[in-house]
Structure 1
Amino acid sequence: MDLMYILLCILLDILTTSCQDTIQGRIVGGYAPVPYSIKYIVSIQTTDRRHFCGGSLINKYWVITAAHCDIGVNKMMIVAGDYSLIIYEGTEQVILPKLLVPHPEYNSATNNNDIMIIKLRGPVELNNFVSIALLPRQGASIAEGRLCRVSGWGYTNPRGGQIPSTLRTVRLPIISSHKCNNSESFNGDITENMLCAGYSIGGKDACQGDSGGPLVCDGRIYGLVSWGNACADAQFPGVYTDVSKYRKWIDDTMISYSTRCNKNPRISTTA
């Protein structure tokens, strides 16, 4: 094999992009993590087992994801402990949702407040394959340039195609809202409730199918995959819901539903 090719592969591995991914044209520049090493992530699927969004366990009864992943409580199921979507591995736990709680001020036109928590019908079993994710404190900030990890089963090509069979992950730096909001990028569409992450040269990003999945910084979920303009575009980094702005809402909501039955018509619930 040509020496320059070998050196290129080594360099790409250092940059967390595998040589195989480059050959296959995997534009998000990610890699397959060690199986079951990202134990808090869940696959949100339709009842006929089609993955469409990601999420994260925040306790044994609750999952956090994006509000735009709300397709109705009777049309989805939650799969924890999964790695390959096409192989039954014996580690999976399938749990049906009891109710969906999208943020009451979610705006689908602006993508503001794109956050939802899901209460499960029963608790997940915490084991070597399934665990709980930590959340940031209310209002905690993450510094520009900090490397964070986003994971999911979303597309590895901006043109779509098939989703990957196994979980994938990539590390991305936080980009300032000022830079993300300039006229050459999102031109003011980034609200105070959003984070941006990506490289100035593009090539690494979340994509369709990763929605609702976790952006983890310093061991805590600071972001949820929300929206963007194409995938891995140098001009348009990925946009994430800033979870730290919602910690109080999350805690208050979980406490509320552990003590009473709320009749709010905005909430999708079981019949």
Structure 2
Amino acid sequence: MNSNHLSKIQVTTHALIGKIRKYFAISTFYRVFFSPTHISLVVLSRVLYCVLKVQEHSGNAAHVRAIRRLKHLMLRETAHWFGAALDDDRIVGGYECPKNSVPYQVSLFAGYNYCGGILLSDEWVLSAAHCKSKSDVEVRLGEHDIWEPENTEQHIMSAEFIHHPDYNPRTQDSDIMLIRLSRTATLNSFVRPVALPSKCASAGSRCLVSGWGNIRPNKLQCLDIPVLSDDTCFNSYPFQITDNMICAGFLEGGKDSCQGDSGGPLVCDGELQGVVSWGKGCALKNKPGVYTKVCNYVSWIKTTMASG
């Protein structure tokens, strides 16, 4: 790699960082909505990072040092601006999940992790309806570090998206969909379905929510949160909560799922009780996360899977 090539990469890096800074001076209000600009910047920043990572291994010693400085600059600047503007796009206040401890966790991948999902069988994945794509996406199973090969992964293309017929994109009611895989997954200790609920979760149930977020971190994050009462949920979001939604989290704020976790699992006592759906900001006081109430959809899920 010659000096002119390195200079062009440096100019491109700084130009993209400037564009990201300018865009994310405007904050995002609801975690469920994404603009095309947001998505394109996410993809561009990750693509450029990957280019820099490849170039790091192909130059002389001086160029390698320069590339590494650019790579760290890219990570530092994009992490700061994505996080500050979006109240972070990943689980807030959580911890790194023990490796492969959430074998039902799925990543919906389109150049980056744009939504989560939940493995229900060797052929079916559950997610949020607002995560539906107009084109096929890569469904990633058995992942822990989303950007590093670990010999546990299975990457399978989607074959069909089936959102619930009552899904309302304005209110996010019935925000749930099934994804049929293009081929069956191999079930093992790294890739294993979660059980559907035998009954609805009661207030106070302790649950686990997990996800990667859109931008960072690379490794799967976990958070232990309680299910809140219906009254608390309704009072947190007056006239916005339906009977098909539950709230989970802490009213004092500081811990919550977020944008990039949409479609991911809320599991209580080994059963899937919620799908990450929406909320105001992330981890804000008196604004807990809102989840699709899976126990209301067990019949639809089973019927759809059986007829598929």
Give yes or no for the alignment of 1:145 onto 2:204.
Answer: yes
Match of 1:44? Answer: 108
Confirm or deny: 8 A CA contact 1:172 1:198 kept in the other structure: yes
Match of 1:239? Answer: 290
Aligned residues: 220
Confirm or deny: 8 A CA contact 1:31 1:169 kept in the other structure: yes
Unpaired runs of 5+ in structure 2? 1-87
Quote how far apart the aligned CAs of 1:105 are. 1.0
CA offset digits 1:162-197 (Å, max 9, x no partner): 321100000111111211112xx2112110000100
More helix by share: 2
Quote how far apart the aligned CAs of 1:27 are. 7.4
Give yes or no for the alignment of 1:101 onto 2:162.
Answer: yes
CA offset digits 1:41-98 (Å, max 9, x no partner): 110011xx31100011100000000000001242x11000111112111211010111
Superposition pairs for residues 1-271 of structure 1, below 5 Å? 28-46=92-110, 49-74=111-136, 76-137=137-198, 140-154=199-213, 162-182=215-235, 185-257=236-308
Q: How many angstroms apart in 1 are the aligned matches of 2:157 and 2:177? A: 16
Q: How many angstroms apart in 1 are the aligned matches of 2:180 and 2:151? A: 24
Q: Residues 27, 62 of structure 1: CA spacing in aligned structure 2 closer, same or farther, 3 A cutoff?
A: closer
Larger radius of gyration: 2
Q: Higher mean Cα deviation, 103-112 or 27-36?
A: 27-36
Q: What residue identity is the alignment partner of 1:31?
A: Y
Q: What residue identity is the alignment partner of 1:62?
A: W
Confirm or deny: 8 A CA contact 1:177 1:195 kept in the other structure: yes
Unpaired runs of 5+ in structure 1? 1-24, 156-161, 258-271
Task: Provide the secondary structure at the position in 1 that maps to 2:120.
Answer: strand
Q: What residue identity is the alignment partner of 1:85?
A: I
Task: Provide the secondary structure at the position in 2 that maps to 1:203.
Answer: coil
Q: How many angstroms apart in 2 are the aligned matches of 1:238 and 1:249? A: 24
Match of 2:51? Answer: none
Give the ranges of 4+ consecutive aligned residues of structure 1 lying more than 3 Å apart after TM superposition.
none
Quote how far apart the aligned CAs of 1:128 are. 2.2
Confirm or deny: 8 A CA contact 1:73 1:100 kept in the other structure: no
Task: Provide the secondary structure at the position in 1 that maps to 2:274.
Answer: strand
Confirm or deny: 8 A CA contact 1:73 1:99 kept in the other structure: no
Confirm or deny: 8 A CA contact 1:199 1:237 kept in the other structure: yes
Q: What residue identity is the alignment partner of 2:205?
A: R
Q: How many angstroms apart in 1 are the aligned matches of 2:266 and 2:218? A: 20
Confirm or deny: 8 A CA contact 1:145 1:173 kept in the other structure: yes
Q: Residues 27, 64 of structure 1: CA spacing in aligned structure 2 closer, same or farther, 3 A cutoff?
A: closer
Q: How many angstroms apart in 2 are the aligned matches of 1:67 and 1:241? A: 10
Quote how far apart the aligned CAs of 1:148 are. 0.5
Q: How many angstroms apart in 1 are the aligned matches of 2:169 and 2:261? A: 17
CA offset digits 1:229-270 (Å, max 9, x no partner): 00001211000000000000001111111xxxxxxxxxxxxx
Task: Provide the secondary structure at the position in 1 that maps to 2:96.
Answer: coil
Q: How many angstroms apart in 1 are the aligned matches of 2:261 and 2:114? A: 8
TM-score normalised to the size of structure 2? 0.69
Task: Provide the secondary structure at the position in 2 that maps to 1:190.
Answer: coil
Q: How many angstroms apart in 1 are the aligned matches of 2:249 and 2:125? A: 25
Match of 1:265? Answer: none
